[in-house]
Chains A and B, each alone.
Chain A
Amino acid sequence: MPAVAISSLQALTQQQLDLPADYRKKLRRADEFTKTIINCTYLGLNSAPQLGIVPEKIGLFLGTSFGPLETNFHFLDSLLEDGEGQASPTLFSHSVHNAAAGYLTRLFSINGPAITISSYAWPFLAVLEQAALMLHSGIIDRAIAVSGEMYSPLLEHAGQQLEKSSYKFCKTGAVTWILDKITEKKKENNIIINKIAISYKPCNVATFLTRKGEECIVENENIKISELLSYAYLLTDQIQKKRSSGDKGEFKWCVKAPFGQANIILSF
């Protein structure tokens, strides 16, 4: 994988939503999944250097495990309650997996590629890898890598049945990283992703939901993970802390689960 620079990192939960008024107006029909992703990306773009990149050279990579699942159910409610022919077209258009990506491209004027991917394992790491490939190919000069999940009572209930415990599904939240090509200046001042390697293996598919056995390994410390987006929050938080501390050098990060393993090597 070609190396790329991280120009900005943000993580946000729905409880922290704080959008400017003009965005709130534009998002009045959007679901919480989209609003959270937009808010997180808004913060990410605002804290990244403004490089004057044309809209055609900015790419969007959105990864999610379950996407706007609750919006899908709201459309189903509309179909079941209002009947065929009366279902809400707005809910249907928002239930499509890439609806949030559509909002992102419109609100932030992104005319480059917009790719939404679905993965039960580590969708954020998958989009980071694909974003890095597209940056290297020359098609884009900046990539917005986003991952988001929407709280689902149905999946929480299913997880509790599977685990026979008080399992909690993650709250609606998002992580956004802004990635840029590496320049000589960036080499000195930025965080560089040197490598991402993801491998998958067969598993009991229930673990995609329960996350049983998932853990992050960083600097000889094993940290257990119990929620869907936790790996992305944790990685973002650890990088932010390392950057604040002024540490330099290589940073190796690993996440393991019954469904595979992913390794990231960064340099500060």
Chain B
Amino acid sequence: MRHPLKYKPAITGVGCISAAGINTGEHLVTINQKNRNAQHVPNWLFHTQKKFPVFICPQQALTETGQNLLQSFKLDIGKISIGRTAKLLFSAVAEAIEMSGLKIADLQKKRVGVAIGTTVGCAFNDENYYQAFKQGFNPPLNPVLNYLNSNLAYWLQTVIGVEGPSMVITNACASGADAIGIAASWLASDLCDIAIAGGADELSRIAYNGFIALQLYDHSPCRPFDKDRNGLNLGEGAGIVILEKENRVTEKDKIIGWLLGYGICSDAWHPTAPHPEGQGIVKAVKIAIEEAGDANLKFNLINAHGTATKANDVAETNALAVILNAQRNETPIISTKGITGHTLGAAGAIEAILTLFSLKQETTDGTVGCHEIDPSLKVKPLSEPERVKLTGKIGLSQSLAFGGGNSALIVEAN
């Protein structure tokens, strides 16, 4: 039995960037209006002959809020060489810090843990350098140095000038959720006073072609839980939460919500497919409930991983039928990947934030892209036209990953 947390980590700031918006507010509008910003890969991102939909962020990646924060460190944006993933991350971090009301000078006096999930962000994907090296040339080393400067957690701590535990989690599509859970464990163990946690990933040609090669990619905008769903669409973005020890937050109205529990379990089943009955995610949710310390916990909203691959949506809904049991017909279940695409290492964090804000608004919209629910699913997620009033403040965000990873975050809105 896992020990329940002595105190709930308070969420005092969040930041979000994806194709659905450059901040959390824009995401909520996009969800409300059920907008889909799916497009083909633009040439400024990378060249491809393939015409599959992607969900991408603005070309500049670094928002005005992000630029302002960087400039406050007297960093010349024109001179620093940071990758697209780092820019997306910093945009989300800047929004989260601003929302939390924390001052950088105060952060620099505290122990600040940084846990960031990513997939593309830890890979060396410079094709020009690689090809030149293979051909026996000595290409300029800038791409290698940029790569060595791209450990997101170390980089972020260095830029902000804070000290504390630091970790990049590379648990594939669950990385962002795991980063938040791990950061919470640092707070609980008093390794830090504040944690900046979440995930970030840019869209890369390698991941794009990898998912196409695996035949997991839909030619059309993705349709989570739909009877005609045919795979995922990749996206890019970042999601960040600021976690603080609740008893150290002096202004209680600053608290957006709480992280009640985190669970993680392995399927030990298949390299890329989930266990068909979702055994791992069932156990992960059970552990998260144990951590929340309330065996009778009821979810008022579930934001599923909902990638729209045939295998994921079946496994996940099978698991939810077990998790919810008698409440299976009364708990709203959605996927937000219809508006963000699958942002890989960022997904778990972005989705936890969207879950929290739907709970705060006491309303959820249905799953964009889901027009006719697959009748074979054991639970019935909300379809696109639906909008439901929520009856409580507790939500579950699920993440499933290559390698058989499963993670669950339970959040409560203030």
Contacts and interface: CB of A to CB of B under 8 A. Distances in A.
Interface of A: 1-2, 55-56, 60, 66-67, 69, 72-73, 75-76, 79-80, 84-89, 92-99, 101-103, 105-106, 109-121, 126, 129-130, 133-134, 136-139, 154-155, 157-158, 161-162, 198-200, 202, 205-206, 208-209, 259
Contacts of A87: 209-210, 212-213
B210 A110 contact: no
Nearest to A92: B210
B283 A118 contact: no
Interface string B371-414: 00000000000000000000000000000011111000000000
Nearest to B152: A118
25 contacts: A69-B123, A69-B124, A76-B130, A80-B127, A88-B213, A89-B210, A93-B271, A97-B119, A97-B123, A98-B403, A99-B271, A101-B403, A106-B270, A110-B266, A115-B264, A117-B167, A118-B151, A119-B151, A130-B182, A137-B3, A154-B133, A157-B133, A200-B154, A205-B148, A209-B144
Contacts of B131: 80
Contact of B266 (A86, A105, A155, A208): A105
A115 B170 CA distance: 8
User: Which DSSP category, helix, strand, loop or mixed, fits chain B's interface?
Assistant: mixed
Given A60-B266, A115-B264, A162-B144, 12 more contacts: A69-B123, A72-B206, A76-B125, A84-B209, A87-B213, A92-B206, A97-B119, A105-B266, A110-B266, A111-B283, A114-B404, A138-B1
B315 to A, nearest CB: 15
A154 to B, nearest CB: 5
B172 A139 contact: no
B148 A130 contact: no
Contacts of B202: none
A121 B133 contact: no
B189 A113 contact: no
Contacts of A121: 154
B176 to A, nearest CB: 13
A136 B143 CA distance: 41
A40 B48 CA distance: 40
Given A56-B283, A84-B212, A98-B401, A139 B2 contact: yes
A89 B213 contact: yes
B40 interface: no
Contacts of A67: 122-123, 170
Interface of B: 1-3, 48-50, 118-119, 122-125, 127, 130-131, 133, 138, 141, 144-145, 148-149, 151, 154, 157-158, 163, 165-172, 178, 182, 185-186, 188-189, 191, 205-206, 209-215, 264-272, 280, 283, 287, 401-405
B2 A96 contact: no
Nearest to A116: B170
Contacts of A136: 189
Contacts of A154: 124, 130, 133
Given A102-B271, A105-B266, A111-B266, A137 B185 contact: yes
Contacts of B205: 79
Contact of A93 (B124, B178, B272): B272
A22 to B, nearest CB: 16
Contacts of B172: 96-98
A134 B145 CA distance: 34
Given A95-B210, A105-B403, A206 B148 contact: yes
A95 B204 CA distance: 14
Contact of B185 (A95, A101, A134, A208): A134
Nearest to B210: A92
B206 A106 contact: no
Given A76-B130, A102-B402, A112-B265, A117 B212 contact: no
Nearest to A88: B213
Contacts of B149: 205
Given A93-B214, A137-B185, A116 B169 contact: yes
A266 to B, nearest CB: 19
Interface centre among A75, A87, A118, by most chain B C-beta atoms within 10 angstroms, is: A118
Contacts of A158: 141, 144
A205 B50 contact: no
A137 B181 CA distance: 13
Contacts of B267: 105, 111
Contacts of A1: 189, 191
A114 B403 contact: yes
A169 to B, nearest CB: 12
Interface centre among B125, B127, B145, B167, by most chain A C-beta atoms within 10 angstroms, is: B167
Contacts of A92: 206, 209-211, 213-214
Contacts of B49: 84
A119 B168 contact: yes
B154 to A, nearest CB: 6
A117 B405 CA distance: 14
A114 B171 contact: yes
8 tightest CB-CB pairs across the interface, nearest first?
Answer: A102-B403, A92-B210, A97-B170, A205-B148, A113-B264, A89-B213, A105-B266, A105-B268
B148 A209 contact: yes
A79 B209 contact: yes
Contact of B3 (A69, A85, A138): A138
Contacts of A114: 171, 264, 266, 403-405
